[in-house]
């Protein structure tokens, strides 16, 4: 069961719509609204949701925070301001990992977001298991509602997927085997010998090392090696 | 030196303002604009920046991507769509760690964001060292401009309390500024034109992009560029 996004007394329908869009960006589906001031199914809200209208249509509306969290097992309160409450404050990434584990073991989790201007009331914050604090510039940490939903949702989404942190995308070609890279290096070095580039013997060895570093550092693909063969051939052809 | 946020041909002044706000949320200060369609100091932009007007006032405006990245050492291109280019694709968190390490060792880094509707052009993407991909729901991954800036900036902000883990060791030389790399690319391309490598016109553009990807991906040093000039000169000299 994915975490519930609980918007407490949101003021603007557009913000509810944009929050729905941010939820969909992050693979979240379950929206709960506590006393929304405007109609969350208005044209403004649906337009702002930019394709996430289904989340708005399925949103559940409650008269109080208490009712909105009644069936949940774990609730987090998002807040930027310091609260004079004895409560665990978690960074968004740590909270996301915790929700990932909790939901995986069958818990229903919720994340509360307060009204745009004022944030959550202290009496709502005290109902939460933890406070989520999104680490941001302390001199300028005010976020709009949808951005707060986006950052917390993004951290949760990252816990749900396994993707390489970085990879060379090569499309239809493949990274060349080392022998092929070195054959190209040899080819280039021979051409350079031919045209007298290595006249000064002591520089030859150092330059070969420099050149090989250039062509190994970027993990050449087979297609790129072919391109480079063509370049060397064309540059070196007799006029 | 904090990373530069480079907005390429942003369409709406409000979006530039909101991007400035997101930057300030994340402790980023340096905004560069390439051919913005609207005035980034308009009332609309300043209102949307919500207190981050200083970033807008200090923003530098450029006529081209090339000029906007000329003095940078490392550039990332943000893109959601798949690109048919051989390039390292990094998650935002991994890219943030890399920028943290690079900036800590004196490099000037930049992150490019494309126009709202279309994203970056392929010829702009190929100038970047890496592609940043923000992991989001593949069925609904479109973000507005300021949200993209926010997520990438947020990941960078999180690294500012971390320690560098890896860096390109360059000893007595330094990573070349982009303009120097591009001047070398131009030099090579001219030589290839001279020797007839680009006879088939339609292949010319694609091959230039392939070549630039080769020479941007490995973060060339100044010394290596000198080596490559020598290589091209020797290969292309008349026999």
Q: Residue B144 sits in a domain of what CATH number?
A: 3.40.1280.10
Query: What does the pLDDT read at residue B181?
Result: 93
Range of the domain at A221: 178-238
User: Do A157 and B147 count as a contact with CB atoms less than 8 A apart?
Assistant: no
Residues of chain B positioned with their CB less than 8 A from the CB of A146: 147
**Residue pairs spanning A and B at CB distance below 8 A:** 171
Inform me whether the pLDDT recorded for B120 exceeds 90: yes
Of all residues in chain A, the one with the smallest CA distance to B138 is A25
Cβ atoms of B43 and B17 within 8 Å: the answer is no
Tokens at A102, concatenated:
């909790």
Q: Which of A106, A124, A158 is the last residue of a domain?
A: A158
B90 touches chain A (CB under 8 A): yes
Question: What are the tens digits of pLDDT across the range B9-68?
Answer: 999 999 999 999 999 999 999 999 999 999 999 999 999 999 999 999 999 999 999 999
**Band (B164; pLDDT cuts 50, 70, 90):** very low
A159 touches chain B (CB under 8 A): no
Pick from A163, A23, A36, A142: which is nearest to A79 by CA? A142
Inform me whether the pLDDT recorded for A67 exceeds 90: yes
User: Do B136 and A154 count as a contact with CB atoms less than 8 A apart?
Assistant: yes
* A118 and A194 belong to one structural domain: no
Is B69 domain-assigned? yes
| Backbone torsions φ then ψ of B98, nearest 5 degrees | -65, -45
Q: How many separate domains does chain B show? A: 2
Q: Which of A161, A214, A220 sits opposite B224 (nearest CB)?
A: A214
- CA angle A131–A152–A119, rounded 5-degree value: 55
Residue A107 contacts by C-beta under 8 Å, 6 or more apart in sequence?
A: A1, A73, A74
Question: What are the tens digits of pLDDT across the range B67-103?
Answer: 999 999 999 999 977 778 888 999 999 999 999 999 9
Write down the residue that tokens 């990932």 correspond to.
A100
Residues of chain B positioned with their CB less than 8 A from the CB of A224: 86, 210, 213-214
In the 3-class helix/strand/coil scheme, how is B68-120 assigned residue by residue?
HHCCCCEEEEECCCCCCCCEEEEEHHHHHHHHHHHHHCCCCEEEEECCCCCCC
B47 touches chain A (CB under 8 A): no
Cα A234 to Cα A223, B81, B193, distances in angstroms: 17, 34, 10
Is B217 domain-assigned? yes
Distance between CA atoms of residues B178 and A228, nearest Å: 21
Site from A19, A97, A117, A137 to mutate, B interface, most B CB atoms within 10 angstroms? A137
Residues of chain B positioned with their CB less than 8 A from the CB of A152: none
Site from B122, B137, B228 to mutate, A interface, most A CB atoms within 10 angstroms? B137
Strands of the sheet containing B130-133, edge to edge, are A166-169, B87-91, B130-133, B74-78, B109-113, B4-8, B30-34, B60-62
- CA angle A177–A179–A182, rounded 5-degree value: 115
Is B172 domain-assigned? no
Query: What does the pLDDT read at residue B173?
Result: 80
Cα atoms in the 13 Å half-sphere on the side-chain side of A135: 16
- CA angle B233–B177–B103, rounded 5-degree value: 145
Pick from B37, B112, B35: which is nearest to B72 by CA? B112
User: Do B232 and A236 count as a contact with CB atoms less than 8 A apart?
Assistant: no
Inform me whether the pLDDT recorded for B152 exceeds 90: yes
B235 touches chain A (CB under 8 A): yes
Site from B51, B81, B236, B238 to mutate, A interface, most A CB atoms within 10 angstroms? B236
Separation in Å, CA of B161 to nearest CA in chain A: 11
* B139 and B186 belong to one structural domain: no
Distance between CA atoms of residues A204 and A189, nearest Å: 9
* B30 and B74 belong to one structural domain: yes
Residues of chain A positioned with their CB less than 8 A from the CB of B21: 140
The alpha-helical segments, DSSP class H, found in chain B are 13-25, 43-49, 53-58, 65-69, 92-104, 122-125, 145-159, 178-194, 201-217, 222-236
* A30 and A92 belong to one structural domain: yes
* B134 and B72 belong to one structural domain: yes
Cβ atoms of B17 and B47 within 8 Å: the answer is yes
* A130 and A216 belong to one structural domain: no
Cβ atoms of B24 and B53 within 8 Å: the answer is no
* B201 and B152 belong to one structural domain: no
Q: Is A71 exposed, middle or buried (0-12, 13-18, 19+ CB in 10 A)?
A: exposed
User: Do B91 and A236 count as a contact with CB atoms less than 8 A apart?
Assistant: no
Mean pLDDT of the residues in chain A: 91
Inform me whether the pLDDT recorded for B202 exceeds 80: no
Inform me whether the pLDDT recorded for B167 exceeds 60: no
Q: Which of B86, B136, B227 sits opposite A221 (nearest CB)?
A: B86
**A 166-225: CB under 8 A from B:** 166-171, 173, 188, 191-192, 195-197, 207, 210-211, 213-214, 217-221, 223-224
Residues of chain A positioned with their CB less than 8 A from the CB of B86: 168-171, 173, 221, 223-224
* B126 and B41 belong to one structural domain: yes
* B135 and B196 belong to one structural domain: no
User: Do A157 and B136 count as a contact with CB atoms less than 8 A apart?
Assistant: yes
The ipTM value here is: 0.84
Is A164 domain-assigned? no
The alpha-helical segments, DSSP class H, found in chain A are 13-25, 43-49, 53-58, 65-68, 92-104, 122-125, 145-160, 178-194, 201-217, 222-236
Cα atoms in the 13 Å half-sphere on the side-chain side of B213: 31
Is A116 domain-assigned? yes
**A 115-154: CB under 8 A from B:** 134-137, 139-143, 146-147, 150-151, 154
Task: Say how far residue B178 (Cα) sits from the centre of its chain.
Answer: 10
Mean pLDDT of the residues in chain B: 90
User: Do B130 and A207 count as a contact with CB atoms less than 8 A apart?
Assistant: no
User: Do B227 and A217 count as a contact with CB atoms less than 8 A apart?
Assistant: no
Q: Is B230 exposed, middle or buried (0-12, 13-18, 19+ CB in 10 A)?
A: middle
Query: What does the pLDDT read at residue B239?
Result: 59
* A148 and A200 belong to one structural domain: no
Residues of chain A positioned with their CB less than 8 A from the CB of B220: 214
Is B186 domain-assigned? yes
* A38 and A96 belong to one structural domain: yes
Q: Of B238 and B184, which is predicted with more confidence?
A: B184
Is A13 domain-assigned? yes
* B182 and B131 belong to one structural domain: no
Question: What are the tens digits of pLDDT across the range A131-186?
Answer: 898 888 888 878 889 999 999 999 999 999 887 788 888 888 888 988 999 999 99
- pTM score: 0.84
Is A165 domain-assigned? no
């Amino acid at each position: 069961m994915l975490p519930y996004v609980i918007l407490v007394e949101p003021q603007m329908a557009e913000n509810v719509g944009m929050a729905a869009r941010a939820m969909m960006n992050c693979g979240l589906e379950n929206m709960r609204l506590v006393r929304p001031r405007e109609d969350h199914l208005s044209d403004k809200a649906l337009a702002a949701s930019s394709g996430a209208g289904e989340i708005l249509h399925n949103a559940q509306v409650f008269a109080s925070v208490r009712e909105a969290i009644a069936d949940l097992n774990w609730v987090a309160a998002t807040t930027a301001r310091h609260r004079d409450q004895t409560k665990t404050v978690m960074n968004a990434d740590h909270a996301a990992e915790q929700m990932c584990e909790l939901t995986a073991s069958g818990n229903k989790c919720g994340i509360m977001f307060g009204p745009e201007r004022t944030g959550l009331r202290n009496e709502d914050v005290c109902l939460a298991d933890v406070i989520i604090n999104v680490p941001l510039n302390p001199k300028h940490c005010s976020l709009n509602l949808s951005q707060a939903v986006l950052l917390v949702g993004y951290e949760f989404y990252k816990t749900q997927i396994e993707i390489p942190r970085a990879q060379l995308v090569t499309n239809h070609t493949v990274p060349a085997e080392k022998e092929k890279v070195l054959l190209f290096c040899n080819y280039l070095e021979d051409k350079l010998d031919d045209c007298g580039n290595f006249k000064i013997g002591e520089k030859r060895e150092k330059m070969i090392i420099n050149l090989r570093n250039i062509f190994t550092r970027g993990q050449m693909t087979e297609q790129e090696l072919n391109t480079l063969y063509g370049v060397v051939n064309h540059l070196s052809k007799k006029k």
